[in-house]
Amino acid sequence: MRAALLLADPDPHEPGYLSRNLASDGFDVVEAGWSAQALDIAERSRPDIVLAGEPELCARLREGEPGRRWDRNVPVIVLTAAGADPVERVRAFERGADDVAEREVYPELLARIRAVLRRASAGPAEVLEAGELVVDRRSRQVRLHGVPVPLAGREFDLAVKLATDPHRVFTKDELLREVWGYGGNLVTRTVDSHASRLRNKLRAAGAELPYVVNVWGRGYRLLE
């Protein structure tokens, strides 16, 4: 299948250069002239990868916006000019870029695109969404309506596990094994106490939906 590529970087020196070459190398290219248009396309067409001329576009893709939904895990390569300042590259990574590449060196850019797509197809999602919540593995944050909710380490790990499949019931034994690393049939209130604290913190932060639902006799799930 041809990968869908969003190109949010009109080349000021040679219009259409990147688009033509990427299309000839097997990508379905959609171009965006400015960041707002790129976000509209990301929401509507769900590209497989984004080439962004501005690190701030990458940050906006990662953070999301109220009332809008796109894939926050979409791979993003930030494009720079030849010989860009190393600080510029670092800032791109800080804003969530998967890679940084010079737009003028097309063979290397093409190799980087393919490498990032290979990694993306093999790895787990770094940002999980469930109801009003965003669970970000990279920053180890749970955000409610864009605002971080302070959580202890195991509370965050429990939130991640439940968010991987928000409506599934995870048994207590399963959670003990996969979140805490305990084996065997251990009698403990660890899961219950952490689940209660996580639920209370989300409620105190203003959650409108019921979270960390106790399914009596079975275990917990994140959402009803």
DSSP 24-67: HTT-EEEE-SSHHHHHHHHHHH--SEEEESSHHHHHHHHH--TT
CATH 3.30.70.260 fits 4-123, yes or no: no
Two tokens at 69? 């939904």
CATH 3.40.50.2300 domain residues, the chain: 4-123
75 close to 112: Cβ distance less than 8 angstroms: no
pLDDT tens-place values along the chain, 224 residues long? 689 999 998 666 666 888 899 999 999 999 998 888 999 999 999 999 999 998 889 888 888 787 788 888 788 999 988 887 888 887 888 788 888 898 888 999 999 999 888 877 755 567 888 888 889 887 788 998 888 899 888 898 999 999 988 888 888 888 888 888 776 566 678 889 999 999 999 999 998 889 999 998 889 999 88
156 close to 140: Cβ distance less than 8 angstroms: yes
Residues 128-223, CATH architecture: Orthogonal Bundle (1.10)
d(CA 158, CA 133): 14
The pLDDT value recorded for residue 25 is 93
127 close to 72: Cβ distance less than 8 angstroms: yes
Estimate the crossing angle of helix 190-204 against helix 153-163, to 10 degrees. Answer: 90
Residues 6+ apart with CB under 8 A from 104: 81, 82
pTM above 0.75, yes or no: no
d(CA 153, CA 50): 32
103 close to 11: Cβ distance less than 8 angstroms: yes
CATH 1.10.10.10 domain residues, the chain: 128-223
d(CA 221, CA 171): 9
The pLDDT value recorded for residue 24 is 93
Query: H/E element holding 106?
Result: helix 106-122
121 close to 74: Cβ distance less than 8 angstroms: no
Place of tokens 């409108």: 208
